Each structure stands twice: as structure tokens, then as C-alpha cells.
Structure 1
């Protein structure tokens, strides 16, 4: 078993208990068994899950063995711990990377990508300004004026006949603003 084998095994088993897990491996390493079309892959990703109801999923001292489906065909896969260089939980989106086991070209590509995101100048870049705070609504207490008692209130003028429907008739229903277009 390679040095990181027990750590990788414990991590993979813990994440499989939560749900689907993606493992990243170098299919060119000795002991790896994958379909012939994938044997030259330096960065091969496989999904494992107990929900796939695998009849033979084995996570042991040597590595991982399982029958998986590739383009509708089943194939017995074997991945030694030395070939596995990353584990990603599809449930929590956490990722564990083992750079010592990464293929050189994958590690180089990763370094080129990270260098591209770092500015060429050695000077520190100023921090981005904090986003402006949105103005908050100001709440204030509204005090209602007390109405004078009904006996002291001035009499309201009688409504004119043309001002609207009489009090006995219900108001005419308003038409909705949506219409059906066929």
C-alpha cells in the first residue's frame, strides 16, 4: 500500500457514506484497469456511489475495485491508491487533492493556470473597493390624529347625484389587466 493509501481509503469511505464521489486518477499507472479506450488518460474521472447498487464495489488496502458502466457496457475497474490523486464529494462539493500522486502534465497545467491568474508585476494589487451599501429605509412612527367625537364633527355635505353609485348598490367589478391571447 502506498503511503497515502490509508488516508485515501478513509476519506473515500467517509464520502461514499454521504453520497456520490468522483475520483480522479492517472489511468496510465501500473495496476490500473479501465476500458482500452481510456488507458492513455492522465486525468480520468470516475463516479462511485452506493446508490448505483454496485454488486462488487470494494475499497480495500490495495485500492478500489468496481464494475462500472462505460457507454452502456459494463467493465470491471481497478484503481490502486498510487494512481488516485483527487477525491471530490458530489454532495458537499469538498475536494481532497494528493499532489504527490498527480501526473506531471496535470500538475504543470494546474501551475500554468494558477500563474495566469496572478498578475505579472510584483507589486501588490489594491483590494477591490467594498460594494456600496444599499440605502436602508427609515421607519418612523405615524401618529394618528384623534377624530373629534361624532356629535362634534361637522356634518358632511350630502353627495351629489352624479358623484357615483348610491350606497345601496355594490361597485361595478373592475376588469382584470390580463387578457388571454390565442
Structure 2
């Protein structure tokens, strides 16, 4: 319990100090000349603080790093779980959407008019000119396979750290 408390204290202190000291000034516009996309990158950087919290906790508690790696045991045995972890969230999101639209069919909009209008406004504000509704729909639908197949691969770098590492090392 002591290690978890140290980990939580370190992680929350780092995260909140960073959020209020860096992210808030950037996102509120207090720093002149910083592009709006910088707020997204600054916020994303905070995902590494749990991993940093684990490293600092291991140093403070003198636990060391000998048993800190996550290694799958037996690839063939682990493969089904990798598949579940990869496609499960997308499948659950699709099931959740289906259940929602079965319960509230009046909310279903196959033409995606709201998001198409939002994306057209964003494109116009960015100076991209007129973008047709069909182009926006095609762009949104083209992103789905990338979200399902590449999203987990790209996000894997931030998952092996933080509280996940802390809980695995205790096992």
C-alpha cells in the first residue's frame, strides 16, 4: 500500500503541476504566439507521467528495475488475448452504437449531417475552401480502418507504463 501511495502522490503532483503550469497557459491563450495545436501536444505529453511516476517510485522505494519488464509468456497462448485487446474496443464501440440507435432510432442519421457540417465549418475556418459533403463523408469513412487497425499500434507506446506497469510488477 505504501508503494501505491507514493506512486499516486508522485504521479498526481507531476500531472497537476504540468497541467496548471504548462497546458493551462497554452490552452487559455495566455502565451502569445503559441499555435492552437500545441495545446493538443502538450496535453498528450501528460500521458507519460504515470510511467515517469513508476520510475521515480521504484527509485524512491529502492525496488530497482530488475522485474519491471512486461513479457508475454508463450506467444501462441497470448495471441487470442492480443486479438481481443486489439479489436475488442472497436467491437464494443460498434455494439454500443447499435444498442443506442436501436433504443433511440430518431437520433440515427445515416447521412452524418451534423458531423459533416462541423467538418465543413472547420475546413472553411482553416482556409481549405469549400469541401463537399461527399468528400467529408468519404474522408470520415476512410479514417475508420486506420482507427481500428493503426490506432492500437500507435497507442501501444503509452500503454506500457504508469499504473499498468506498477500493477504488473506486483504480480
TM-score, structure 1 length as denominator?
0.16
TM-score, structure 2 length as denominator?
0.17
